[in-house]
Amino acid sequence: MTCIYCQKQFEPSKYRKTKQKACGDPACQKRRQRDNLSAWQERNPLYYRIKRMDPGWRAKARARAKRWRTRHKDRIQAYRQQTMEQYRIYMREYMRRYRAAAKTKGDRKVQESGV
């Protein structure tokens, strides 16, 4: 069978012989998961919008995210370190655009703070 992502030949799993379209390569699996997720989101566009309106769900989701962040501080740290240069470039660009927009509006406070 031919992988729809990398076009390489692969041996499908015996359980998914007819349905498997992507090979087991981690990069292809990642793309497959992302594609599946966006296809699902297209089929269920209101799913999270409706969930977010429920205060109970929101409180739980917030608590879950906070728990994850406190448990995986090392991973957040590693990610931040890995992407620090990109983040700096992004922030520099962001602030440049922000100041330019503020300037056209005539907002002096933002310019003077010079972040």
Q: Which is nearer to Zn ion, 13 or 44 (CB)?
A: 13
Q: Which is nearer to Zn ion, 12 or 110 (CB)?
A: 12
C-alpha 37/C-alpha 43 separation (Å) is 10
Instruction: Give the x-and-dash track for 29-68 against Zn ion (CB under 5 A).
Output: ----------------------------------------
Contact 69, 62 (CB under 8 A): no
Measured CA distances, 93 to 34, 87, 90, 110 (Å): 28, 10, 5, 15
**Is residue 23 within the footprint of Zn ion (CB under 5 A)?**
yes
The footprint of Zn ion (CB under 5 A) covers: 3, 5-6, 23, 25, 28
